[in-house]
Amino acid sequence: MPTARESLLEAARAAVDARPWQGVRMVDVAAAAGVSRQTLYNEFGDKAGLGAALMEQCVRGLLHGLEERLRHGEGTTDEEALAAAADWMVVAARRDRLVRASLTGCRCHGVPGPPPDPGSLIAQLRDRAVQALSAPPGAPDEALPRRCETALRLALSHVVAPAAAPAAA
């Protein structure tokens, strides 16, 4: 059974998927989560606190999603895993405006709270990629951080300036 916090974040996410953040009402989020408004305010303080928690959840989802894509089976190279992870990131940003705002730092009206700093987020994604792709034994691959950063920044360039045809990306 989800906690009140989890239920509230799920309800807030559904609300922001349905309308711009400015149109999301705290009373509606509480009702959708099946809790009182007081519980919502106790958990997040105010709408800005709820928005910040929603953006934090989005970032955690990005980090987790990247790690999932980087776990590759035998016969798959690091470059192939990085390409798959970069492609996933582009598709996720196309489908989800919170992901797009997190990656680009967009402070547009339909998004809650200030998004994270994109440079800091790319650094976190790079560090997770390096960690996921580092071979357990043996000498470290000194070029791996640079390759990870390059792949992620190329993906980000497709988010910021999408190709005319999505298949071309």
Cα(89)–Cα(98) distance, integer angstroms: 12
Q: Which is it for the CA torsion 103, 106, 108, 113, positive or negative?
A: positive
Cα(151)–Cα(17) distance, integer angstroms: 28
Indicate if 77 and 156 belong to the same structural domain: yes
Q: What is the pLDDT of residue 140?
A: 67
Indicate if 111 and 66 belong to the same structural domain: yes
Q: What is the pLDDT of residue 86?
A: 93
Indicate if 34 and 62 belong to the same structural domain: no
Indicate if 23 and 88 belong to the same structural domain: no
CATH number of the domain that 37 lies in?
Answer: 1.10.10
Which regions of the chain are under pLDDT 50?
168-169
Cα(169)–Cα(155) distance, integer angstroms: 9
> Range of 106's domain?
54-168
Q: Report pLDDT digits (tens) over 76-106.
A: 888 899 999 999 999 999 999 999 999 998 8
Q: What is the pLDDT of residue 2?
A: 85
Q: Contacts from 3-6 at CB under 8 Å and sequence distance 24+?
A: 4/33, 4/35, 4/39, 4/43, 5/43, 5/53
**pTM of this structure:** 0.85
Q: What is the pLDDT of residue 7?
A: 96
Q: What is the pLDDT of residue 142?
A: 85
Indicate if 153 and 102 belong to the same structural domain: yes
Q: What is the pLDDT of residue 169?
A: 46
